């Protein structure tokens, strides 16, 4: 049986945004589709809404009129669950409550044929727990689409503890036949994307809670230096603070309150106040009529230094040397290996964020990680009360001479981008080591599911095998709560590199 040769129609239970989107995907792929909702009249209303979206696809030239008419003819609102009796696949997208989903699956099992695949679109509940209500859980799995389902390509194909390999394979091939990009993963809290993406939000909120930078500045640094499509504050305003916080809390609780996934108190207060983001008119930012978007902190113009001294290998920031030369600033190289830093005319040092703080050193300015130092339009700097004013001015002028806006933030270890990327890389290595998914599928999921500029393993290869471990090890020394403790998988990854390089 091929992916498109299901034994019967595709049935979608639940007619909200996700249910309608999944139904549209199946329709456009050529399947007859049953649409069912427990609330009378909703299935018919949803069918009309899907029909209107098909009309817009015709207007945009993505469907022909004949294809639209054929798709509409294949869409059948169902009056009751018994109308789904001939289905080859049922996907539920109902309320995110375990008891509701379990009861629905029990009812479906009594109606659909034995070769019908049963799937949940849950984003936060255990696939294994939902399937545990079934007599035959081997045919049950997760098909986690991303919103909006017709547009976003990623589908997480989630195997519960009792899911048969053949069922997962059929579902994977079906998603691919629908034009989607499926990734296979085990049933773990958050699956791939919602598990590994937690630090993107958590570290931004932590920097804010530490009073090191405001939301607009943190967002600008994540976009303009880190290369992320959106910053954490604007993205959670778009998602909905209540939704994002609920997913974070769900993952945290499912991991037995693992400190690595601890929710943000600042976000909790935002939710409690009813400031849920764009949909409520106010979140981290104000979306009311006439409200002005706050600007990120941008340093005043400073004079560039006449020269810099390069000591050691700048690692991920090595391309800065060429940029400095191109800006007409003299580069002197110290042949003696004193570390990995730039020395400014003031005698102060400029170093890449490494998980330490500026206050630990006599006269240091840290600069944050960038996805691409040539293409970055903003760089964050951090310093302590012991940093000389002249050193900060020279560091600011240096990056401004390279065409960058400069944001000066507080003295937080790992700054913004570096700590975020290090934690994402760590969670990705940990997930592979625990059999959640392959490196390739994790990279695919993070690029397509949340639009990261690079997958975690692509980041890791670019930054060096031990980079993330070293950053997190330094962070853990300064915050021994366990939040930044590198995983055993990341330790093994970094240590294996050292052994190959001849370290005893």
Residues ≥6 apart with Cβ < 8 Å to 440: none
Residue 383 annotated in active site:
no
Token duo for residue 225: 């230096």
Catalytic residue among 34, 144, 297, 493: 144
Q: What angle do CA 252, 451, 456 make, to 5 degrees?
A: 65
How far apart are the C-alpha atoms of 324 and 202, rounded to whole Å?
A: 34
Residues ≥6 apart with Cβ < 8 Å to 12: 19, 22, 23, 26, 33, 34, 35, 36, 90, 91, 92, 93
304 touches 327 (CB < 8 A): yes
Q: How far is CA 392 from the centre of its chain?
A: 33
Task: Looking at 151-240, list the stretches that DSSP marks H as alpha helix, in order from N- to C-terminal side.
Answer: 165-177, 193-196, 198-209, 215-224, 232-239
Closest residue by Cα to residue 387 from 355, 351, 419, 415:
351
CB-count exposure of residue 246 (10 Å: 0-12, 13-18, 19+)? middle
Catalytic residue among 194, 382, 407, 460: 194
How far apart are the C-alpha atoms of 117 and 170, rounded to whole Å?
A: 9
Token duo for residue 144: 């986690």
138 touches 167 (CB < 8 A): yes
170 touches 117 (CB < 8 A): yes
Residue 123 annotated in active site:
yes
Catalytic residue among 34, 87, 92, 156: 156
Look at the alpha carbons of 72, 74, 78, 81 in this order and tell me if their dihedral is positive or negative.
negative
Dihedral Cα 492, 496, 499, 504, nearest 10 deg:
0
- 156's enclosing H/E stretch is strand 154-159
Please give the sequence-ordered ranges of beta strands (E in DSSP) within 232-346, or none if there are none. Answer: 307-311, 330-334, 341-343
Please spell the DSSP secondary structure of 396-440, one letter per residue.
Answer: HHHHHHTT-EEEEE---TTTTHHHHHHHHHHHHHHHHHTTS--HH
| Helix 417-433 and helix 467-478, axial crossing angle in degrees, nearest 10 | 110
Residue 451 annotated in active site:
no
Catalytic residues: 123, 144, 156, 194
């Amino acid at each position: 049986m091929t992916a498109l040769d299901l034994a019967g129609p595709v049935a979608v239970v639940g007619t909200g945004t996700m249910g309608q989107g999944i139904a549209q995907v199946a329709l456009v792929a050529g399947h007859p589709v049953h649409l069912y909702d427990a609330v009378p009249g909703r299935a018919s209303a949803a069918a009309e809404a899907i029909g209107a979206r098909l009309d817009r696809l015709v207007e945009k030239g993505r469907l022909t009129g004949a294809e639209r008419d054929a798709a509409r003819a294949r869409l059948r609102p169902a009056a009751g669950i018994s109308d789904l009796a001939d289905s080859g696949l049922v996907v539920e997208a109902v309320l995110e409550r375990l008891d509701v989903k379990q009861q629905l699956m029990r009812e479906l099992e009594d109606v659909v044929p034995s070769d019908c695949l049963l799937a949940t679109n849950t984003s936060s509940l255990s696939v294994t727990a939902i399937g545990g209500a079934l007599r035959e859980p081997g045919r049950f799995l997760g098909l986690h689409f991303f919103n909006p389902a017709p547009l976003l390509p990623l589908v997480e194909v989630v195997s519960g503890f009792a899911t048969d390999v053949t069922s997962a394979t059929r579902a994977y091939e079906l998603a691919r036949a629908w034009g989607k990009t499926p990734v296979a993963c085990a049933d773990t809290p958050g699956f791939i994307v919602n598990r590994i993406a937690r630090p993107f939000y958590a570290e931004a909120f932590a920097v804010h809670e530490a009073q090191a930078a405001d939301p607009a500045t943190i967002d600008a640094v994540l976009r303009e230096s880190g290369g992320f499509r959106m910053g954490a504050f604007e993205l959670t305003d778009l998602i909905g603070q209540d939704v994002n916080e609920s997913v974070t809390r769900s993952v945290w609780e499912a991991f037995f309150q693992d400190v690595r996934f601890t929710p943000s108190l600042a976000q909790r207060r935002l939710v409690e106040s009813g400031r849920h983001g764009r949909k409520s008119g106010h979140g981290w930012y104000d979306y009311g009529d006439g409200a002005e978007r706050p600007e990120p902190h941008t340093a005043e113009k400073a004079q560039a230094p006449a020269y810099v001294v390069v000591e050691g290998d700048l690692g991920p920031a090595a391309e800065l040397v060429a940029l400095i030369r191109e800006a007409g600033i003299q580069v002197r190289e110290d042949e003696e290996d004193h570390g990995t830093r730039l020395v400014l005319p003031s005698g102060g040092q400029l170093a890449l964020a490494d998980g330490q703080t500026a206050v630990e050193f006599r006269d240091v300015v840290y600069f944050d990680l960038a996805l691409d130092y040539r293409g970055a339009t903003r760089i964050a700097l951090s310093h302590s009360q012991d940093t000389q004013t002249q050193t900060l001015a020279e560091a600011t002028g240096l990056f401004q001479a390279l065409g960058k806006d400069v944001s000066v933030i507080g003295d937080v270890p790992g700054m913004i981008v570096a700590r975020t990327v290090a934690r994402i890389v760590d969670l990705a290595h940990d997930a592979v080591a625990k059999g959640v998914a392959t490196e390739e599928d994790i990279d695919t999921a993070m690029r397509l599911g949340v639009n990261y500029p690079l997958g975690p393993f692509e980041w890791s290869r670019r930054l060096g095998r031990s980079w993330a471990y070293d950053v997190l090890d330094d962070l853990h020394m300064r915050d021994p709560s366990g939040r930044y403790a590198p995983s055993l998988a990341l330790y093994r990854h970094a240590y294996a590199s050292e052994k190959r390089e001849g370290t005893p």
